[in-house]
Every structure is written in C-alpha cells, then in structure tokens.
Amino acid sequence: MDEAIGHYPADKKRSAALPLLHLWQEHFDFINDEAVTWIATKLGLQPINILELVTFYPMLREKRAGKTHIRVCRTLSCAMAGGYQVMENLCAATGIQRKTDPAGAGHTPISMSPDGNYSIEFVECLASCGTAPVCMINDELRQNVDPSSVVDLIVNRESRIVNRPEPHPLEHRIIFKNIGRKNWKTDIKTYLDDGGYEDLRKAVKMSRVDIVNEVKTSGLRGRGGAGFPCGVKWSFIKPDEKKPVYLICNADESEPGTFKDRYIIHEDPHQLLEGIAISCFALNARTAYTYIRGEFPEGAKILEGAIEEAREHNFLGKNILGSGFDVDVYIHRGAGAYICGEETGLIESLEGKRAYPRIKPPYFPAVLGLYMCPTIVNNVETLCAVKHIIAMGGAKYAQLGRSNNTGTRIVCVSGDVERPGYFEIEVGKVTMGQLIYQMAGGLKWGRQLKAVIPGGSSAKVLRADERFKIKQKQLDGATIEVEMSIDELPMDFDSLAAAGSMAGSGGVIVLDDSRDMVWALNNINEFYAHESCGQCTPCREGALWMKKITERMLNGGGVTEDPPTLKTIGDNIAGRTICAFGEACAWPTQSFVEKFPEEFAAHARKSFPPPLPPECTPEELTEREQIPTSPLAHDPGWEKAGADAVI
Ligand SMILES: Cc1cc2nc3c(=O)[nH]c(=O)nc-3n(C[C@H](O)[C@H](O)[C@H](O)COP(=O)(O)O)c2cc1C
Ligand code: SF4
Ligand code: FES
C-alpha cells in the first residue's frame, strides 16, 4: 500500500485512493465499512471521500462475489454476437437465478449461485469487440465465446489474445508491426533486438522545440476520438513552464467498438513506453501516468513489468541515457467507468475523486490539468505514433495518408462481418467498401449492408444507401464536390465528418439487414444511460429517458410520439452539457431516428401514451422514471440566452 501511495506527490496522497481500493478488494474480495475508514485514515481523508468512490466505480463492490466472478459484456458488438445468450446459458450452467430489472435486460446487481461458487454480472464493452462475444472470468478475458458451450468456458482456464494471422495487403503496418508477429515477445530483449529504444536515443539528442516541431510537421491528429492535432496541443505547454508538467497516457479504451490500445499494451508495451518517454522529454514532463481501465488487469501487469525493465536499462528513471533528464512512468488503474476516458474526468479520477468532468474553460488540461498543473493527455496510439515520427521525420510521416489526415491509424471492425478485427491503414487511403468487403471479409452469407457506425458507438450512424457530398482537394489545389456512396467513403477524419459522422476512436461497427435498428439503438442507449456521470441534468435524465423510450418501443409499448420525442430529447442534450458525453449519447439517437424513420414508426404504433398502473405505490412512483410522451419544447440553449450570454 505504501508503495502505491509513493506513486503520487507527497501532498497528493488522495490519488492513491483507487489503487488502495483495488488492493483491498483483491485481498478481501469486497469493500466494507472497515475498508472505507481504514483507507480514509491512511490517506488523511474523510470516510465519505472513499465511500463516494465505492458507489461511483462499477468494479468496486460492497458485497462478496462468488469464488469465480463472471463479467459478461452486453454492449452492441457482443450483444449482436450472442452476449445475452452467453449470460443466459452461464446462469443455467452455474445455477444462478439472475436478478432482472422489469424489462428483463441490462444492469442489475451481481447475482450469486446458491453455493457461492459463482457470481455474474453484465458489464459494458470490454474493448475486445472484434472477438465478440467476450466475458471475463475473474481477471481473465475469454474471447469468441460459444454461447452453446459455456461450461467449457468456466473449466478451461486459458486467456490468450486472439490475433489476425497476417496483415491484409491493404494494410500499412507501423504501430501494429509487431502485433501477432511470430516469435514476438513482450520482453525488453526482443524489443531491443528489433531496434527498440533507438528513437528515444535519437530524441534525447534533439532539442525539445525540434521534437514538438517534428510532431507538428507530421500533422498527427489524436487517435483517442476528437482528432485534435497533437503538435498543436503540445505547443500549449510553455517551454519555460515553472509548474511541473504532466503527461497522461489515456489507456481507458472504453468507447464501444474500439479495441486497438489493448493489443498495443498486451503485445508491444515497450513501444508505448518509448513513445511516452520521448513525449515526456519533449514536454519536459518528469512524471507520466498511464491511466488504464480497470478491466485490463493483465495489461496493467504487463506494463508494470515493462516499466521495471525500462528502468533497469535506464530508458526511464534518473538521467535517462545520460541526457540529464529524469522521468518516471506510473500505472494508474481505473475501475470500470466509461467517463474516465474523457480527459478531465480522467484527471479527476487520477486525483482520487469521482470522474466528474471539469468545465472547459477554464479547465483545459494543458493549462489547469492534473493537480492544477499543465497536463497533456494523449491516447495510447497517438503516443506510439510519436515514436515513429521521430524515426522517420515529421515530413515523411506527413506523406502517409492524405492531406490534413496524415499517417496511419488502426481501425477496428466488429459486428456483422465475416472477419472482424484490427487493420492499420494509411488514413484515407482505404475506403469504407474496401475495409468492409476486402479487409473484413464482407458480410455474412446472404446478408446485405444496412448501416455502419464508423467511429465508435458515439458516432452518428450511416445508412447503407445514403449518398454523401464530400469536398475533395485536387492536385492543383482546387476543391471540388464529389458525390459518393458509403462504399466509396475514404476512411479519414475529414471525409467521415463531411458525411455527417466522425472517425472518432476508429471503431467501425457494421450492421446487416437482419438487424432491428430500434434494438440496436436501445442497446447503445442502455450503455449511455448507465455511463452518464450524472452531473448535468440534460445528460443524466435525457440518457435515461432515451433508453426507457427505446426499451418501451421494443417491448411493444411504443406510442406514435416516440420518434419525435426521442429526437427532441437528443436535441436538448447535445451542446448543453459540461463534457462531450452529451453529444456522444445524443448523436446515436438523433441519427438512428432520422435515418431509419420507417423502423421507428413501426415500433411506435399506439396512439396514446400507456397509463401508469393505478396500483402504483408512492415508492414505486418515485422509483419509476417518468418518460415524456410528447416532444419537448426545444430549449434555445445557453448560447442564445441573452446578448451577453447571461442567463
Ligand atoms: C465520453 C468520452 C470518452 C472518451 N474516452 C476515451 C478513451 O477511452 N480513450 C481515449 O484515448 N480518449 C477518450 N476520449 C477522448 C479524450 O477526452 C481525449 O480527447 C483524448 O484522450 C486525447 O488524446 P488524443 O489527442 O491523443 O486523441 C473520450 C472523450 C469523451 C468525451
Ligand atoms: S455530459 Fe454527462 S457525462 Fe459529461 S459531465 Fe455532464 S452528466 Fe457527466
Ligand atoms: S467487447 Fe463487447 S462490445 Fe466491445
């Protein structure tokens, strides 16, 4: 415990709250009152500071679990591949009577088998959507689970990452060069034999400004979701900054449909550490934290081992490679909340609090980040790309991909395709059609494409028969507008934005013509209703309303007003919240309802709202969320609240 506390500045012991809670739970299986008071005293906090974490982070539990605890993923790609059958069959095999909510699906407290040997719960996306359906047996991930042979799953104790055999000819592998490579191991010797840490050697001989300029020249855009230019972000850090500067590697990888960072962490941890060390040197950041989601316990161990090895070889630690620069990298585990991926929520979580995102401005991390110090938050893949930019030079990197969409990126394909998986492509050099039909093997036999969610579940859905008008730059510099089909869409930031969606985190979820779009949206809505941090009323209430409405539509209770009501709830969330989760949860609903009106109308046939059962007790009424049954008046929003924006 003292070692864990030592990872944080002496006056910031609160940051150790989650690590201590993890250690306690690993040892005693659950967090009781004694744990709360003990940890609070140890960190000089009030018990409420610890209890509020236990009630916020889904992986922390206040009751004992079974000897074997099973977490079954219920998010879209897994649900499409049979995740709900996995749950049902596991319950039958272990004798668990699962508690269900009135609608019969989704999140409920952990259910136990009568003998206490097994417990089970649904969890959200485990970042392995390409090998769906998946579940975790204790700390081990099980992939490609066959719903009909779950007994085998409990007995067979193998947890290996499933790799694609060979890169596809349309791939251009740089970051994923070693992933799935024969005889490739994660130890430092293998990495060094392959030329590892040479780019760090090169970087520490460069000036900091030169490194930042190389990254700027490369045009690298962040791979975590927003696509913000990395070099521009880095240049917000003043070269003569007096406060400590922090680098945070965002390894939360929790956007449904995304499963690339997991492979880097598990299979090529030194590549990531080299990227982190170079970035720290460039930013003069002497401490870096890798915030890794709680559901990657194996990944956290692998990274911790790699950090030890890197320290032994003086790639981390004091005076690295004789440069006079000291840098330490620490692993900080989350505990199962999607909002920890949002950079300011992540920072709050790293400070030992609930992951409540901060309002921007003023809390832009580069200005007021971790411990109110300048902080750069970058995604795992972005930091790996930095290493390759140093290797090849920014200008050469910028020649990969397309203008304003440079380099390579890893796209993750899941859902209704023959060969789901990861593909590293030159950004924009592969079209959606090539990705789906050539690289991912096309749709299942006899099926047609219905829709694609191109950048993680937050991205607006694209309909297969849409036509898109995309502005394209010609060689002579002129811009022309080209009309194209979904198959012709280049897989890059600007084209997908022009098509009305986004490249986001690179998670492409494919839906074929067997899918009910209300069912798919309901699955997504359940995710957002569960993951809203609850700070903002439009997001907290709206996400729940949207889920309740799609759930009711699925259960045969849809009323004709439901589609416009859904749309107006979405309209009243987006743009009115503290963080971009508001958009992330509104966009799926807004786009599904708009693009598939016939399916939503078919589920919304009743002409009047269902009455509340008259026998409801007052307690039941307060427990039952109220669902609006007619469109809400459109709130003009803060930005229109008055000439001076004073509300
Ligand atoms: C709700 C929400 C969830 C997010 N989840 C992740 C995540 O899991 N991983 C990630 O790298 N970025 C995530 N982001 C984006 C981060 O806030 C941040 O922009 C990113 O880590 C910056 O890194 P980059 O510039 O390298 O992309 C999320 C953003 C939002 C709004
Ligand atoms: S938008 Fe949602 S997730 Fe973001 S701060 Fe508000 S309530 Fe929390
Ligand atoms: S791992 Fe199940 S949906 Fe992502």
251-289 pLDDT tens trace: 999 999 999 999 999 999 999 999 999 999 999 999 999
Residue 221: which residues within 8 A CB-CB, separation 6 or more? 227, 228, 229, 230, 405, 406, 493
Residue 625 CB neighbour total at 10 angstroms: 11
Cα(469)–Cα(480) distance, integer angstroms: 10
Position 388 scores a pLDDT of 98
| Number of the ligand 1 atom closest to the C-alpha atom of 253 | 8
Which of 258, 364, 370, 377 has the most ligand 1 atoms within 8 A of CB, as the residue to mutate? 377
Q: What is the CA radius of gyration of the chain?
A: 24
Q: Check if 534 has its Cβ closer than 6 Å to any atom of ligand 2.
A: yes
Q: Which residues pair with 220 in a beta bridge?
A: none
| Å from CA of 127 to ligand 3 middle | 5
Position 159 scores a pLDDT of 53
Section 518-536 average pLDDT: 97
- What predicted TM-score, i.e. pTM, was given to this entire model? 0.93
Residue nearest to ligand 1 atom 12, measured at CA = 224
The sign of the CA dihedral 616, 622, 627, 629 is positive
| Å from CA of 223 to ligand 2 middle | 22
Q: Check if 382 has its Cβ closer than 6 Å to any atom of ligand 1.
A: yes
Cα(178)–Cα(200) distance, integer angstroms: 18
Q: Check if 345 has its Cβ closer than 6 Å to any atom of ligand 2.
A: no
Which of 546, 576, 579 has the most ligand 2 atoms within 8 A of CB, as the residue to mutate? 579
Position 643 scores a pLDDT of 39
Which of 80, 134, 524, 530 has the most ligand 3 atoms within 8 A of CB, as the residue to mutate? 134
Q: Check if 631 has its Cβ closer than 6 Å to any atom of ligand 2.
A: no
Residues in the chain: 647
- Proximal ligand: closest to the CA of 453: 3
| Number of the ligand 3 atom closest to the C-alpha atom of 258 | 4
- The torsion region of residue 451 among left (phi > 0), alpha (psi -120 to 50) and beta comes to beta
Which of 70, 77, 123, 143 has the most ligand 3 atoms within 8 A of CB, as the residue to mutate? 77
Which of 236, 250, 283, 295 has the most ligand 1 atoms within 8 A of CB, as the residue to mutate? 250
Tell me which amino acid residue 209 is.
Answer: V
Q: Check if 222 has its Cβ closer than 6 Å to any atom of ligand 1.
A: yes
CA 462 to chain centroid, in Å, comes to 20
For residue 604, which phi and psi values (nearest 5 degrees)? -125, 70
| Å from CA of 337 to ligand 2 middle | 12
Q: Check if 575 has its Cβ closer than 6 Å to any atom of ligand 2.
A: no
| Number of the ligand 2 atom closest to the C-alpha atom of 579 | 4
Residue nearest to ligand 1 atom 13, measured at CA = 341
Q: pLDDT tens digits, residue range 391-400? A: 999 999 999 9
The sign of the CA dihedral 36, 41, 47, 53 is negative
| Number of the ligand 2 atom closest to the C-alpha atom of 535 | 7
Residue 611 has pLDDT above 60, yes or no: no
Section 537-543 average pLDDT: 96
Q: Check if 582 has its Cβ closer than 6 Å to any atom of ligand 2.
A: yes
Stronger pLDDT, 233 or 102, i.e. the higher one: 233
Position 111 scores a pLDDT of 92
Q: Which of 91-95, 279-283, 368-372, 522-526 has the lowest mean pLDDT?
A: 91-95
Tell me how many degrees the CA angle 526-338-215 measures, rounded to the nearest 5.
135
Cα(561)–Cα(117) distance, integer angstroms: 47
Residue 636 has pLDDT above 50, yes or no: no
| 466 SS3 class | coil
Q: Within 13 Å and on the Cβ side, how many CA atoms surround 329? A: 32
Position 233 scores a pLDDT of 97
Tokens of residue 237, six digits: 């850090």
With bands split at pLDDT 50, 70 and 90, how would you rate the model's confidence at 614?
low
Which of 71, 73, 123, 136 has the most ligand 3 atoms within 8 A of CB, as the residue to mutate? 73
Tell me which amino acid residue 593 is.
Answer: V
Position 641 scores a pLDDT of 39
In whole numbers, what is the pLDDT of the chain averaged over residues?
92
Q: pLDDT tens digits, residue range 438-478? A: 999 999 999 999 999 999 999 999 999 999 998 887 778 78
| Number of the ligand 1 atom closest to the C-alpha atom of 531 | 1
| Number of the ligand 2 atom closest to the C-alpha atom of 573 | 1
Place of tokens 């849809």: 558
The sign of the CA dihedral 122, 123, 127, 129 is positive
Residue 3 CB neighbour total at 10 angstroms: 9
Cα(230)–Cα(27) distance, integer angstroms: 40
- Proximal ligand: closest to the CA of 257: 3
- Proximal ligand: closest to the CA of 130: 3
Position 637 scores a pLDDT of 45
| Å from CA of 352 to ligand 3 middle | 27
Which of 124, 530, 578 has the most ligand 2 atoms within 8 A of CB, as the residue to mutate? 578
73, 135 Cβ separation under 8 angstroms: yes
| Number of the ligand 3 atom closest to the C-alpha atom of 73 | 2
Q: Check if 57 has its Cβ closer than 6 Å to any atom of ligand 1.
A: no
| Number of the ligand 1 atom closest to the C-alpha atom of 581 | 1
Site residues for ligand 3, CB cut-off 6 Å = 73, 75-78, 125-129, 132, 134, 256
Q: Check if 638 has its Cβ closer than 6 Å to any atom of ligand 1.
A: no
Cα(478)–Cα(206) distance, integer angstroms: 38
Residue 642 has pLDDT above 80, yes or no: no
Cα(604)–Cα(97) distance, integer angstroms: 33
| Å from CA of 532 to ligand 2 middle | 6
* Mutual angle of helices 537-554 and 581-595, in 10-degree steps: 30
- Proximal ligand: closest to the CA of 251: 1
| Å from CA of 603 to ligand 2 middle | 29
Going from the C-alpha of 567 to that of each of 251, 561, 576, 631, the distances in angstroms are: 33, 10, 15, 8
The percentage of the chain sitting over the pLDDT mark of 70, rounded to a whole number, equals 91
Q: pLDDT tens digits, residue range 369-394? A: 999 999 999 999 999 999 999 999 99
Q: pLDDT tens digits, residue range 124-159? A: 999 999 999 999 999 999 999 999 888 777 766 555
